[in-house]
Structure 1
Amino acid sequence: MMRTIFCLVISEADVASKGGIFDFNATLPLMMLQFLVLMLVMNYLFYRPVTDILDERADYIRNSLTTASTYLLRADELTLKYEESLAKARKEAQETIQKSQKEAQEIVAMNIKEAQREAEQLIYEAYEQLNIQKEKVLKTLENQVDILSNQIKSKLVSRRFL
């Protein structure tokens, strides 16, 4: 094994003495030509499809961002519209509640007035009934007083004559 390493070192030394990788002979232009051909082939086969895919991806991202911003603007508009509608509905609901409360208060006030009027009517009727009964009682009492006074008179007169 040592012998093979020694042989390799010697052959390397022979190659180095004959010329290296950067010798300026016919191999340099050939290497340059190979490098350019390799660059063109790599550009055509590898770099162009990769750049096309990257460009398509950039376009897709750009379109997605544009669409997303459009949707976001639309969502903001809808949000404002719905907030305005909600505010309007709340305002209408408040107005309806206030109107209903006012109507309820008016109905209650009207019912109270009606009840007061009925109570006054009942009181008036009761007063009239009491007055009628009072008159009847007074007439009855007057009749009884007249009868009693006549009886007393007649007893007094009869005692006087007796």
Structure 2
Amino acid sequence: MVYWQHLTRQANEAHTRADYVDAQELGKKALACAEATFEDDFQLDAESAVSAVVVSYMSLAEVSISMKEWLQANDYFERGVHFLQSVIVAPNILPEHRQLIDHVANHIRFEWELFQQTYGNKLAVAQRIHRVNWLKQQASTVTVWQGSYGY
């Protein structure tokens, strides 16, 4: 947990300096650290373990917003919710932990909804561009495949 705190502090400082690439890299390391130790940390202090992972996802979403990477920001909100959904269905989870996770998941959903309301148009444009690029890539793959078989 100490290493996660160190990485998170550094990521926040980089974000404050508008060094978004560094903030993103440090944030990803912090998230990986929080996820890697989650099960053990959860047994010791469920609230801190949940907070570490969620803070990491939310921080990465904020950095992505600062970088105007709307799809990436949306993905971090979604991944945060999915992470909590995977934890809440674990067998033998205590009722107070279930309540904590439910509360935190509702907070992420609220922030995600606020993001979508604020940047919805930009997100929609980014999603359309992503789909068009994906379709172009698929079309070129089919063309290459057809060319290699003489079609």
Pick the TM interval, shorter chain.
under 0.3
Compare the two structures and name the one with the higher helix fraction: 1
Higher relative contact order by CA 8 Å / sep ≥ 6: 1 or 2? Answer: 2
| TM-score with structure 1 setting the length | 0.24
